[in-house]
Amino acid sequence: MSDTLTHLDDQGRANMVDVSDKAATRREATAQAWVQMRTETLQMIQSNGHPKGDVFAVARIAGIQAAKRTHELIPLCHALLLSSIHVELKACEPDRVQITSTCRLNGQTGVELEALTAASVAALTIYDMCKAVDRAMVIGDIRLLSKQGGRSGHFQWENPQ
β-pair type (96-107, 84-92): antiparallel
Q: Is 128 a catalytic residue?
A: yes
pTM of the model: 0.89
pLDDT at 153 over 90: no
Binding residues for substrate: 76-78
So where are the chain's domains?
A: 25-147
Cα gap 28→152, rounded to integer Å: 12
pLDDT at 13 over 60: yes
- Percent of the chain at pLDDT > 90 equals 67
Tens-place pLDDT, residues 20-69: 878 888 999 999 999 999 999 999 999 886 667 799 999 999 999 999 99
Cα gap 51→58, rounded to integer Å: 13
| pLDDT band (50, 70, 90) for residue 7 | low
Q: What is the pLDDT of residue 62?
A: 98
Closest CA to 120 of 52, 40, 35, 50: 35
Catalytic residue among 10, 95, 128, 134: 128
Binding residues: 76-78
Task: Supply the mean pLDDT for the chain.
Answer: 90
Q: Which fold has domain 25-147?
A: Alpha-Beta Plaits (3.30.70)
Q: List, as one string, the DSSP characters of 12-62.
A: S-B-----TTSPPEEEEEEEEEEEE--HHHHHHHHTT--TT--HHHHHHHH
Q: What is the pLDDT of residue 8?
A: 64
pLDDT at 116 over 80: yes
β-pair type (155-156, 25-36): unpaired
pLDDT at 1 over 60: no
